[in-house]
Amino acid sequence: MAKRFGSFLGDGDAGNSFRCEEIEPLLDREEEIVFDFGGVENLTDSFCNACFANLAAERPDTVKSNVRFINCSPVVQAFLSSALNLARIRLKQTPTR
Amino acid sequence: MPNSLRLTLPAQVREAGGTDLSAFIDMVLEGELIFEADGTRGEVTVDCANVELHTPACVVAIAALADRWIAGGGRVLLLNQADKTGYAAFDPRSQTGGPLFVAPPLFEFDWATGKLETIASALASACAPAGYEPRGPYPVVQYCCGELFSNCRQHARANAFAFADFDAERDLVRFAVADCGSGLKQSFVQNESPHVHPSVDDVDAVKIALKPGISSTTRARHPYSRSPNYGVGLSMVREFTLLAGGHFFIQSRRAWLYETAGRLPSQGNCQVSAGWPGTLVNAAMPKVGCGEYLDMLRSAHRALGLTDDTPEDKLFG
């Protein structure tokens, strides 16, 4: 992630396009994805939620089975955990069809 | 209607209470009246001679309005700004109606193409030159400016002016971001947000925008899917500022709101014109209040109901 975005992942639009253009096609093919956060110092909630909260809200089972986060500092883990919790909240609020 | 105006900036504009700042914005908005008059090519002279202590919002307010007026065909003269913090970043060419030039730590963020991480990090460096450290103001300012620029990109869709510094004498880390975009209420209305009825006023729109989980783009069409926004960023900026024991100020169109820790917010309406033509955020926090970033982040998340005690621990290797 640091090689792709630098040490600060701040841009919500970039997080959203990364999810839609690069990550979701991989998950469509049921590939496993490891996000390496080594070298990432800081994020914004906008980036983290646009990318990971939406991913987990829209594909909760696939994320559980096919996604891993490695080399996360406590700060990075706090952002990611918050995003995953937001996804759970959004899932609970989404009416079942 | 005269087509020229001289603004003599006051000596001091402090953060506390918000009244100094709202009065300052009222004053500079008189320049808007010059340029709102049909067919005028107005001229505004801004005299900085008396400036002693101004909060960053003053600098970005002048920068954003001067840019707006020059882009509209007007002329802006800046006088006596050379040794004034922030104002010194204006290039004298602006006095001849040429393009406005800004130099660090005053930045212009291009909402469409700007690399927001780069500018947010530069603003953080202006407050904490040693760069990223797990405690202290750098990551807080970097986060806050990143979120405010994201709002410019996703909501205001307008360039922003930003300024940050460390006031060593008062131990205050300070930053401000101002845009001349849609403003909060208009962003809600344009995006047919379910959170704001078109009849609400600017004050209510500001209060609604500060609630966690409220985004103006909930129903907006998006190139990929539904709105990617969770409406967290602006609330977090406010929360970080209050956690550090600082002063938070926001103005959007006619409404302003000021808040500091442990006190009820104060708010009001500006008296001039249609108000600030967009959104302006100013924050000032004691450096000593910026402790461990991880602790502040968790506290801010919890205050907004965003817990980080995820049951998905097995996702983390």
* Rounded-to-integer distance, Cα A18 and Cα B159, Å: 23
- Regarding an ipTM greater than 0.90, the answer is yes
Residue, of B39 and B238, whose pLDDT is higher? B238
pLDDT per residue as tens digits for the range A33-88: 999 999 999 999 999 999 999 999 999 999 999 999 999 999 999 999 999 999 98
Tell me the pLDDT band of B195, cut-offs 50, 70 and 90.
low
pLDDT at site B291: 96
The interface residues of chain A toward chain B in range 11-40, judged by CB-CB distance below 8 A, are 11-13, 15-17, 19-20, 34
DSSP A24-82: HHHHHTT--EEEE-TT--EE-HHHHIIIIIHHHHH-HHHHHHHEEEES--HHHHHHHHH
Check CB contact of B26 with chain A, cutoff 8 Å: no
**Mutation site, A82, A84, A89, A90, interface B, largest B CB count within 10 A:** A82
pLDDT at site B89: 83
Tell me the pLDDT band of A90, cut-offs 50, 70 and 90.
confident
Statement: residue B137 has pLDDT above 90: yes
Determine whether the interchain pair A78/B298 forms a contact, defined as Cβ–Cβ distance below 8 Å: yes
- H helices within chain B, ranges in order? 19-28, 30-36, 56-71, 116-127, 137-151, 184-190, 202-209, 233-243, 293-303
Cα-Cα end-to-end distance for chain B: 68
pLDDT at site A97: 43
Chain B residues close to A81, C-beta within 8 Å: 307-310, 312
Tell me the pLDDT band of B205, cut-offs 50, 70 and 90.
confident
Q: What is the mean pLDDT of residues A10-17?
A: 94
Chain B residues close to A77, C-beta within 8 Å: 308, 316
Q: What is the model's pTM?
A: 0.92
pLDDT at site B201: 83
Check CB contact of A82 with chain B, cutoff 8 Å: yes
Look at residues A43, A18, A32, A35 and name the one whose alpha carbon lies nearest to residue A71: A35
DSSP B232-246: -HHHHHHHHHHHTT-
Determine whether the interchain pair A78/B236 forms a contact, defined as Cβ–Cβ distance below 8 Å: no
Q: What is the mean pLDDT of residues B71-98?
A: 77
